[in-house]
Chains A and B, each alone.
Chain A
Amino acid sequence: MILQTEKASEVIELLSRWNVSMRDRNIAVVEELNMEVQEQIDPAGMDQHEILWYSLLEIRYSLIQKNFDDTAVLLQQLELLQGQLSPEMAFYYHFFKGIFAYSMNQYVEAVACYYEAERFMGSIEDKIEVAEFYYKAATAYYHTRKFLLSLSYAKLAKTTFEEVSKNDLRSADCENILGLCCLSLKQYEQAEEHFLDSLDIAEKFKDEELLNFIRYNLGFLYSEQNLSDIAIRHLSELYSKEFIPHKLSFLLAREYFKMEDQENGFYYLQQGMDVCSAIQNEEYIHHLQILNAQYSTLPSEEIERIVTEHLKYFEERQLWGFVQDYAEALATILHHEKRFEKASTYFYQAFRAKSKIEEMGYLR
């Protein structure tokens, strides 16, 4: 970074080391250098160049610490000085702004920030940073259902990581995204191959955390193919580990309902509700309620009322992918009930949601 300055001052040299430690997620060193920075650096004695770098790294540090209130304030302050940023600084500013938006679950905003950051990529010589950027972009595109873009950024990330680092675990993380994109594009065989490649690496390195992510996604893959038995086997193994329990409960309830096992379906539904309440996750309450209505024996008018009530949540947050899914599912139920006019209304709502997803590709 800073780093490319010909005659780096002591301050810049220290900030540079701090930045690299944050890039490499080396928490012990990050904290050690943070102490050093706080002790040795006096903003009053810095020149403008040093202050700008210091401000940028404060943002990165607040992101690592998950002090998002601080991040918001720091980003606002720096926004006023945008005109004074060098191209390299501008890259980091937009990159960090994108990470912040992603952390706030604002995926469309994250994509827009990464798009801005990419304009300044030419000034970044640090290939690991570039690979991290591609990885982040792939992640944001996945959550906005831009699967082909996500796929292409995940491939770029994987290639770049492999060029500059022997850390296969980052390649395995990329394989995971590639698997998810293939899954969403209904390329199930390829999705499984990517997940299994990732699983091999995670097993080799005994990375328990990554193993859990991959096992969950394999369960999700089998669930999407209605292979309920094998999906339940994978997901149940994780349940005892309390790995992302609100999501696991949702998928397990869905599989049991598909198998017409109401008892287990309701069991996991209630478990999901309890977990969502405990961790304050509102989104999955709405998923679970819609699931409950979909597999109920209630009259279609009542199902319609419940689904539309919870659909509002996804509309308000512009989660158009789920609006499309649930509007389509409701339309199908109403079509089978021969309520064709109503069914048409919801098929149109699904179509509109799909158009919204497409519009999100037109970057500003």
Chain B
Amino acid sequence: MKKAKILLGTFLVLTALMGVAAANGGLQAEHGVIRDTTTNL
């Protein structure tokens, strides 16, 4: 039941995101985090 709910949630979220560029949070090619000082001044 939980899985079905999550899958449905994903569909809705992905639909909402269509056409929206990766913005807040950003795309990261690794799970580690680096402080990006130049654009976070």
Q: State the A residues within 8 Å of B (CB).
A: 22, 25, 27, 30, 63-64, 66, 99, 102-103, 105, 107, 132, 135-136, 139, 142-145, 173, 176-177, 180, 183-184, 209-210, 213, 216-217, 220, 244, 246-247, 250-251, 266, 269-270, 273, 276-277, 279-285, 289, 292, 296, 298, 317, 319, 321-322
Contact between A105 and B27, CB atoms less than 8 A apart: yes
Q: Is the CB of A284 within 8 A of B25?
A: yes
- Extra 17 A-B pairs, beta carbons < 8 Å, given A273-B6, A280-B24, A289-B6: A102-B36, A105-B26, A180-B30, A213-B35, A217-B32, A217-B33, A251-B31, A273-B13, A276-B25, A279-B25, A280-B22, A281-B24, A281-B26, A282-B17, A284-B25, A285-B17, A289-B7
Contact sample, A vs B, 20 pairs, CB 8 Å cutoff: A64-B41, A105-B26, A105-B29, A142-B34, A143-B29, A143-B30, A173-B34, A213-B34, A217-B33, A220-B32, A220-B33, A246-B25, A247-B33, A273-B9, A273-B10, A276-B25, A277-B17, A279-B24, A282-B22, A283-B28
Structural contact, B33 and A136, CB atoms closer than 8 A: no
- Please report B residues at the A interface, Cβ cutoff 8 Å: 2-3, 5-7, 9-10, 13-14, 16-17, 20, 22-39, 41
Please report the number of residue pairs spanning A and B whose Cβ atoms sit closer than 8 angstroms. 123
